Each structure stands twice: as structure tokens, then as C-alpha cells.
């Protein structure tokens, strides 16, 4: 125990701080917590969705979790409000006059050029429903028994705390509340990872995001400029191709999809080699529907493309050979490009536009993943477990602050009387270290009729739910 003696002034300040910690009323004093068992916290004529008598405790779930770009990312902490990165974009060719002999005045060398980019945080802030503590744990009657969800879905999201992913006890109001937070986080985060826009006001951002960071779509682009001067930096630009045709058709240059993919991947590899980065690992990022449609025609087009180039004439392919390639690419989740198996990562954050009668179009991204073990596509986060946050939060020692996922998230509480809600916050940003090695193929059109399920409630084609949110 400390031997420090406090002055009356210090005691007054501490008492004021203690009072302030109690002034953390939630936005509403009306409990709104959804429940699985027992009565709703604000309406005792409504009961939890698992509270009906006589139902087998084991249940199946149709909830689909997002297919996520997050599995491709390097993850690291940063304490810097802005991350300033610079790319050396070249060396100028100076004006010169050669000397006529060794006693003359020779030309000088050129000057290096650089392009600066600024990466700002996206800020995420969300809460659970307000729970009335005296009502937690109640059952509707003796027929209301804890349930078990037999299928929890795929592996947990790498950026979402595991306690927000699984419910081991459906009677636990905490586990259910965290589960709902996790579902919302996964959905919103995937859209920001791809479509994130730093210019959006908080009223226009994805749910829970005070501000968004710059997503993949806003970093794989042309038109890079220096953040300090606004001068154009074409050397930092990504490679952007417009296909704008169906997967079994050709673009305005007469290229089929295999040739378009080949041109993009060849250019990316060539840039990497010429820049001393020939060990760069690449991956395609696309929607799963798009990949399935591409693979259906890609194998036939791939061998036709080979046979139309300088490959020996005896390389004749048949339907079986093309089918074997199609099956291998689909099961192995890769595309064979320029003779190399390039991994494919699925993301539901990529915009998909409906063209009518199950015809869609979406973009395909080629991103550098790593070079010599150095991640080239990183998610940075502000470490909420840093010593200064802990110091400030521990002054009165009320235990109202906690951190999750190695400091990726900070959790706090707000209460009124015996009603309590939890709040969660995080600051993240996506950094594509080498945009000049990245590429995009715009407007790949495809027909897709397989009745799959997607996670986005705004998906009018492949999302489904139904049923009730409470029982009477």
C-alpha cells in the first residue's frame, strides 16, 4: 500500500473524478436488450426466441459469415496518428551538354523524386443493447431450457475476438450480446476493407464507423499525387484494366479473360522483377460468385490461348483436360495465369452490380501480399492496451475498461441504475505498401444462378433470413 499523504485539494480532485465516473449514463434509460430465453427486458409480454416450450434444445443456424479479405492481411500496431509513407518514384534526366574532352565541363547527374502518402485511422465505435441486470438469467418457465447451436459457421474471423464469435451458453446474456456485436463488426468491417472512403461523413459511413479508412478499392488506383505538393506521381499508380464484357467474351482490345488476366499478372511480375522484388507473392481478390463463373470458362479459354500463341501444335487439349483444370482451380482456389497458380481470396466487401436476370458485374483485384517475408498489405491498429491508456483508466480503479485481441479493441461500460451496456472501440487503417505492384480488372460480367447464401442483409439476391425476433 502506498504511504503517500494526499492534500485536501488532491482529495477533492479525486472525489470529483470518482463522481465523474458515475456520470456515464447511456443514451437511453429504456432497456432494449434482445434475449434468447426469458422475458424481453422492456416488455414482459415478449419472450426470447429460444423460449418456446417443447422445442428440441439443439438447433441449426443458417447465419452466414462474410468471406473476408482479412485473412490475407498482415496485422501490426502503430501509435502514430498518421502514417506517412514515401515511394521513390524515379530519377530525373537532367538537361546536359557533354564535354568535348577531359578538360571540359561534364554533365551532372539527375535528381531523385519521391511521392508521399498519408494514411489516417478509421474509427469504429459500437455498443450492446442496454441490459437490465436484475432480469438477466431469467427463464420463461420450466419448459424454457438452454439450447445448443449445432453449427457455428466457419473459422472465427481473424480480426474479431473469439468471444464475439461463439455462444457456448445460450442462457448467457453476455455471450448473446457479444455474438450480435461480432456479427455486425464482421459485416461492416468487410465493406470498409474494400470500399472504405476517408471523405465520408459519419452519417454516410458503414454502421459503427465514425470515420472510415481508405479501403483496397481506393488504394489500387491510378491518379496518385504527392500528399504535400499535389504533384502527380504516375510511377506510384496501380495497373487498372477495363474488361467490361462477359467472362466468355472479349474486351474492346479483343482480349479474352485469360489474356486480360495474363497481361495484368505479367505486368505486375515484370514490375516486381525490374524493381528488385522478384520474390513478390501475389493473390487475386474477388467475389466467390465471380470466381465460380470465371473458372467455368477459364480452363477452355486458357488452353485455347496457349494454342493460339507460339506453343507447339501437338499441345491439343480435350474436354477432359479442360475439366481437370477447372476442377483443380475451383478446389484449390487459384487461377492458372502465365503458367503459375495464383491464390484467390474471396471478399463480400467488393461491390457487385446487378445487370438483370442473374447477370452481374464486379471488379477483380491483384494485390501484392509479401516480399521476402515482408507483408505488403497491412492492417495497422492503434494499441488500446498501451501504457498511457491503462494509466489514465486505472486512476480510480473501477475496472470499467478492458482490452481485447492484443489491444485491437477497447471495451467500456455505461450504466443507469441497474441497467448496463458495453461499448467497443477500435482504430484501424489498411496500408498497401506497394500500390505500383497492384492491379485491378474492372467490370467483369458474369451470369450466376447457383442459390448460395451471402452475409449482407442488403444483398437482394443471395441473403435470406425470416422468422421472428421474439416469441409471444
Q: Give pLDDT, residue 309.
A: 46
Identify whether 266 is part of a domain.
no
251 within 8 A of 263, measured Cβ to Cβ: no
CA–CA separation, 235 and 353 (whole Å): 31
Extract long-range pairs of 196-205: CB within 8 Å, 24+ residues apart: 196/122, 196/430, 198/120, 198/122
Identify whether 396 is part of a domain.
yes
Extract long-range pairs of 330-339: CB within 8 Å, 24+ residues apart: 330/292, 330/295, 333/291, 335/261, 335/284, 335/294, 335/295, 335/298, 336/298, 336/302, 337/261, 337/262, 337/265, 338/262, 338/265, 338/266, 338/269
Q: H-type helices in 118-225, by residue range? A: 173-195
Our measurement of the distance from residue 265's CA atom to the centroid of its chain's CA atoms, rounded to an integer in Å, reads 23
Query: How many CA atoms within 13 Å lie on the side-chain side of 144?
Result: 19
Q: Which helix (H) or strand (E) holds 290?
A: helix 288-307
Instruction: Identify the band that residue 258 occupies on the pLDDT scale cut at 50, 70 and 90.
Output: very high
What pLDDT, in 10s, does the model give residues 330-373?
A: 999 999 999 999 999 999 999 999 998 899 999 999 999 999 99
CA–CA separation, 158 and 196 (whole Å): 19
pLDDT at 41 over 80: yes
* DSSP letter assigned to residue 117: E
According to DSSP, the residues that pair with 428 across neighbouring strands are 122, 381
pLDDT at 20 over 50: no
> Mean pLDDT, to the nearest integer, of 140-151?
91
Identify whether 237 is part of a domain.
no
Give φ, ψ of 137 to 5 degrees. Answer: 95, -5
Question: Taking all residues of the chain, what is their mean pLDDT, rounded to a whole number?
Answer: 89
173 within 8 A of 85, measured Cβ to Cβ: no
Instruction: Identify the band that residue 7 occupies on the pLDDT scale cut at 50, 70 and 90.
Output: low
What pLDDT, in 10s, does the model give residues 183-208?
A: 999 999 999 999 999 999 999 999 99
CA–CA separation, 257 and 290 (whole Å): 12
Q: Give pLDDT, residue 173.
A: 93
Q: Give pLDDT, residue 302.
A: 84
Query: Which residue's entry shows cell 486512476?
Result: 395
Neighbours of 126 (CB within 10 A): 18
Q: Give pLDDT, residue 158.
A: 86
Identify whether 45 is part of a domain.
yes
CA–CA separation, 191 and 456 (whole Å): 10
Pairing of the two strands 359-371 and 281-286: antiparallel
How far CA 8 is from CA of 14, 29, 394, in Å, comes to 10, 36, 21
Identify whether 334 is part of a domain.
no
- Among 389, 455, 373, smallest CA distance to 427 is for 389
Q: How many domains is the chain partitioned into structurally?
A: 1
Neighbours of 89 (CB within 10 A): 19
Degrees (nearest 5) of the Cα angle 306, 308, 312? 70
Q: Which helix (H) or strand (E) holds 261?
A: helix 257-274
> Mean pLDDT, to the nearest integer, of 213-230?
96
- Among 165, 172, 130, smallest CA distance to 37 is for 172
- Among 259, 250, 371, smallest CA distance to 307 is for 259
Quote the cell numbers at residue 99: 564535354
> Mean pLDDT, to the nearest integer, of 15-40?
69
Identify whether 55 is part of a domain.
yes
Q: Give pLDDT, residue 8.
A: 53
What pLDDT, in 10s, does the model give residues 366-414?
A: 999 999 999 999 999 999 999 999 888 887 666 678 999 999 999 999 9
Quote the cell numbers at residue 464: 435470406
* DSSP letter assigned to residue 236: G
Q: What is the end-to-end Cα distance of the chain in Å, rounded?
A: 55
Q: Give pLDDT, residue 18.
A: 46
**Domain span including residue 383:** 25-81+120-216+379-431
Percent of the residues in the chain that have a pLDDT greater than 70, as a whole number: 91
The SS3 assignment for 311 reads: coil
Collect all residues with Cβ–Cβ distance below 8 Å to 213 and sequence separation of at least 6.
Answer: 119, 120, 121, 122, 192, 196, 198, 428, 429, 430
Identify whether 196 is part of a domain.
yes
CA–CA separation, 250 and 457 (whole Å): 34
Amino acid at each position: 500500500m502506498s504511504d503517500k499523504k494526499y492534500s485536501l485539494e488532491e482529495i477533492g480532485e479525486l472525489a470529483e473524478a470518482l463522481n465523474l465516473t458515475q456520470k456515464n449514463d447511456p443514451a437511453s434509460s429504456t432497456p432494449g436488450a434482445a434475449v434468447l430465453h426469458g422475458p424481453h427486458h422492456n416488455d414482459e409480454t415478449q419472450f426470447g426466441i429460444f423460449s418456446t416450450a417443447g422445442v428440441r434444445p439443439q438447433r441449426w443456424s443458417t447465419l452466414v459469415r462474410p468471406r473476408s479479405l482479412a485473412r490475407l492481411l498482415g496485422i501490426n500496431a502503430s501509435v502514430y496518428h498518421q502514417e506517412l509513407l514515401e515511394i521513390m518514384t524515379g530519377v530525373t534526366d537532367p538537361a546536359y551538354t557533354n564535354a568535348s574532352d577531359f578538360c571540359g565541363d561534364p554533365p551532372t547527374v539527375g535528381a531523385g523524386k519521391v511521392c508521399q502518402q498519408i494514411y489516417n485511422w478509421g474509427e469504429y465505435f459500437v455498443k450492446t443493447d442496454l441490459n437490465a441486470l436484475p432480469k438477466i438469467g431469467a427463464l420463461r418457465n420450466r419448459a424454457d431450457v438452454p439450447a445448443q447451436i449445432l453449427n457455428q459457421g466457419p473459422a472465427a474471423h481473424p480480426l474479431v475476438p473469439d468471444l464475439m464469435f461463439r455462444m457456448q451458453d445460450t442462457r448467457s446474456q453476455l455471450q448473446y450480446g457479444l455474438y450480435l456485436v461480432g456479427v455486425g463488426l464482421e459485416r461492416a468491417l468487410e465493406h470498409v476493407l474494400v470500399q472504405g472512403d476517408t471523405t465520408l461523413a459519419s452519417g454516410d459511413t458503414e454502421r459503427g464507423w465514425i470515420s472510415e479508412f481508405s479501403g483496397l478499392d481506393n488504394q489500387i488506383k491510378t491518379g496518385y499525387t504527392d500528399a504535400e505538393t499535389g504533384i502527380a506521381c504516375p510511377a506510384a499508380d496501380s495497373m487498372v484494366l477495363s474488361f467490361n464484357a462477359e467472362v466468355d467474351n472479349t474486351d474492346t482490345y479483343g482480349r479474352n479473360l485469360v489474356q486480360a488476366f495474363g497481361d495484368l499478372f505479367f505486368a505486375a511480375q515484370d514490375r516486381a522483377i525490374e524493381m528488385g522484388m522478384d520474390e513478390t507473392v501475389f493473390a487475386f481478390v474477388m467475389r466467390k460468385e465471380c470466381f465460380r463463373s470465371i473458372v467455368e470458362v477459364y480452363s477452355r479459354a486458357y488452353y485455347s490461348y496457349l494454342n493460339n500463341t507460339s506453343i507447339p501444335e501437338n499441345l491439343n487439349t480435350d474436354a477432359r483436360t479442360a475439366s481437370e483444370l477447372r476442377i483443380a482451380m475451383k478446389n484449390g482456389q487459384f487461377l492458372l495465369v502465365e503458367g503459375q497458380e495464383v491464390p484467390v481470396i474471396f471478399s463480400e466487401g467488393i461491390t457487385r452490380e446487378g445487370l438483370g436476370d442473374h447477370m452481374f458485374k464486379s471488379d477483380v483485384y491483384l494485390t501484392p501480399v509479401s516480399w521476402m517475408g515482408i507483408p505488403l498489405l497491412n492492417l495497422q491498429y492503434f494499441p488500446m492496451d498501451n501504457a498511457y491508456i491503462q494509466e489514465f483508466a486505472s486512476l480510480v480503479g473501477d475496472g470499467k475498461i478492458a482490452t481485447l485481441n492484443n489491444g485491437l479493441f477497447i471495451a467500456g461500460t455505461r450504466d443507469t441504475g441497474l441497467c448496463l451496456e458495453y461499448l467497443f472501440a477500435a482504430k484501424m487503417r489498411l496500408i498497401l505498401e506497394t500500390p505500383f505492384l497492384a492491379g485491378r480488372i474492372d467490370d467483369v460480367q458474369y451470369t450466376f444462378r447457383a442459390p448460395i447464401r451471402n452475409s449482407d442483409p442488403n444483398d437482394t439476391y443471395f441473403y435470406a433470413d425470416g422468422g421472428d425476433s421474439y416469441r409471444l
